[in-house]
Structure 1
């Protein structure tokens, strides 16, 4: 049996948060698979699954902060052709959010704790909420770095 690399575990975990095989109808096991999926566009059903399974995305403007899609836009997408894939930009932001949520679950121990943490000001992020930093790649990287520091007990 071949051990999976940490990134392959992240890919699997991220896919599961997006609904796994029920919503993503292709095997996604490696970074290249994830890249190809994002470039093709995630299916709308993956976003719907993520929103339905992640209560924090249903409150206020959190969905727009985290993923860049307003609740109204999501509703419009649901009424239109649901088989049409999301854009590369939308898919990338959805993937990034799910990846960071998965990492937070791993570090903090539960989905509930991860969601709570993402909505609270964090000392190691200059008292900014992790969710507020996900709008940009550098902000998301800062959140990922902070999760690694938490994992190793380094909060500064």
Structure 2
């Protein structure tokens, strides 16, 4: 059942940034965890630590085994393994941005579905409102990301069509 308490995209304010930052490892990964969307922008511009991506992958359950995860975050398993070996090396702006957006959508889906487990199941299942596409597969393009975000907002407000 959707949670309708917030009414805004999860990462649109400080509360959302904190949820996304927590998925990425929080204070254990970031010297100065972002507190606002502008802080998040600055951190992504400077290069998000590779350890954040490692932590994000480690926080996943069902999706950790999804072949679509690599495409959703824009990084092959081999590149991820190299990044895992150099946790202090920053990600490129594109890699960090894709990882941040994935975490943002996961946080939003978790809010809407009530648990991360349910959110991950939803991301990995065909969705009627997305023409039977799996949401995780749509995260490979900005247009697909927008469709998934819009659909999550409709679910949050109970507008399924």
TM-score by length of 2: 0.88
**Which residue does 1:8 correspond to in 2?**
14
Give 5+ residue unaligned stretches, structure 1: none
Q: Residues 77 and 27 of structure 1: is their aligned pair in 2 closer, same or farther, counting only changes over 3 Å? A: closer
**Which residue does 2:100 correspond to in 1?**
95
Alpha-carbon shift at residue 60 of structure 1 (Å): 4.1
Count residues in correspondence: 151
| Structure 1, 31-40 or 57-66: larger mean CA deviation | 57-66
User: Is 1:28 matched with 2:34?
Assistant: yes
Q: Residues 62 and 110 of structure 1: is their aligned pair in 2 closer, same or farther, counting only changes over 3 Å? A: same
Alpha-carbon shift at residue 138 of structure 1 (Å): 1.6
| Structure 1, 5-14 or 137-146: larger mean CA deviation | 5-14
Contact kept, 8 Å, 2:49 with 2:91, in 1: the verdict is yes
Alpha-carbon shift at residue 47 of structure 1 (Å): 0.5
The higher relative CO (CA closer than 8 Å, separation ≥ 6) is in 2
**Which residue does 1:40 correspond to in 2?**
46
User: Is 1:133 matched with 2:138?
Assistant: yes
Query: Where in structure 2 are the equivalents of 1:69-80 lying within 5 Å?
Result: 69-79=75-85
Supply the distance in 1 between the matched residues of 2:153 and 2:71 (Cα, whole angstroms).
Answer: 22
Supply the distance in 2 between the matched residues of 1:114 and 1:124 (Cα, whole angstroms).
Answer: 16
Give 5+ residue unaligned stretches, structure 2: 1-7
User: Is 1:152 matched with 2:157?
Assistant: yes
| Structure 1, 27-36 or 69-78: larger mean CA deviation | 69-78
